[in-house]
Structure formats: structure tokens, C-alpha cells
A and B are shown apart, each in its own frame.
Chain A
């Protein structure tokens, strides 16, 4: 069974540009959640999609957006990049939505390391 796949693995952008990251969940999983990980702030929840609908969004500016397709693959977009957006962006997939089941296993991808210069 293939794991959660994130592409690209590494990305270098300059300030003001925009970026799109992709996440392919485990086959059959309909929930995809996104996280930002930085040395200073740790792992922070960005948003979750379930069956193509955004269920929750964390405390991030509107420059951060996402979507989910009918095959459950998800993309997140960051517009007008800032230096502080440099981070490891992780996605995770699960069968049920977050909070729906206490024994639900969340599986993470290896992340996309974004550097903004």
C-alpha cells in the first residue's frame, strides 16, 4: 500500500512569488490535513479537507489556501510568499475526519521543504 505522497520534496522560491504543493493520500482515505512546521513555532495546523470540503482552518492568513479533488488528492497554495513562510509543509491523511474517531490513525507524508529567499 503506497504511503502519503507529497510533491515536490524541495522548493526554492523568492519573496512575492506563489507556490502550489501537492498531496496524494493513502488510497481510500478521504481526509487530508495540512501542517506547517518551523523551528520556532513547531507543528501548526493549517486546514483540513474531507470529501472536497474544507472542515477547519487554523490561524493563518488568507494567503494560505487549499483544495481537494474528487480523487481525494489535495493541493495547498501560498500566494505572495514571505520569508517567514520558509518551512516544512506536511500533509496527513486518514479515513475519517479529524476528531471523528479516537482510534483513527493519521498518516503523514515526508513533507515539502519550502525555502523563500
Chain B
């Protein structure tokens, strides 16, 4: 089991550009959540996808958008990048089993905006 995988590992962009980050969930998982972790901070919830639809969204602007594919993998898109978007972006997947759906995190994508 490969666990949650994310690509790319690192990314450098300039202000105003657009970026796409990718996530493959753990085998058997159908729900993907995205978090932003700024330097020295705890992760902040961006949104969650289930059955190819956004199920819940955190306090992030519309510049942040996502998509989930039929194979449950997901993309995070950020438009019109700002310097403040520099952060570690974490993807987490979970399944339906049990009374609580534990989230498993990927290693993250480090985005630097210059």
C-alpha cells in the first residue's frame, strides 16, 4: 500500500501565476481533504471532496479550487498566486469504515511564491 501520494514535492512560482497540485489517496479511500500549512503554523482546512463534489469548504478565497476524479484522486488549483500562498499543502484521505473516518496525510507539496 503506497499510502497518500502528492506531486510535485516542491514548486516555485511567481506572483500572479496559477498552480495545480495533485493527490492520490490511500487505497480504498474515497474522500480527499486539502490543508494549507504556513511556516510556523498548524494546518488550515481548505476543502474536502467526496463523490467528485466539494462537500465542505474552509475560509479560503475562490482563487482556491479543486477537483476529484472518478478514481478518487484530486487536484488543488490556486489562481493569481500571492506571496502569502507560500506554504506546505497537505492532502489527506479517508474512507467510510468505522465510527470515525481517520485521515491519512501525504508528505505535502512545498509551494514557494516569489
Chain B binds chain A = no
Chain A: residues with CB nearer than 8 A to chain B? none
Chain B: residues with CB nearer than 8 A to chain A? none
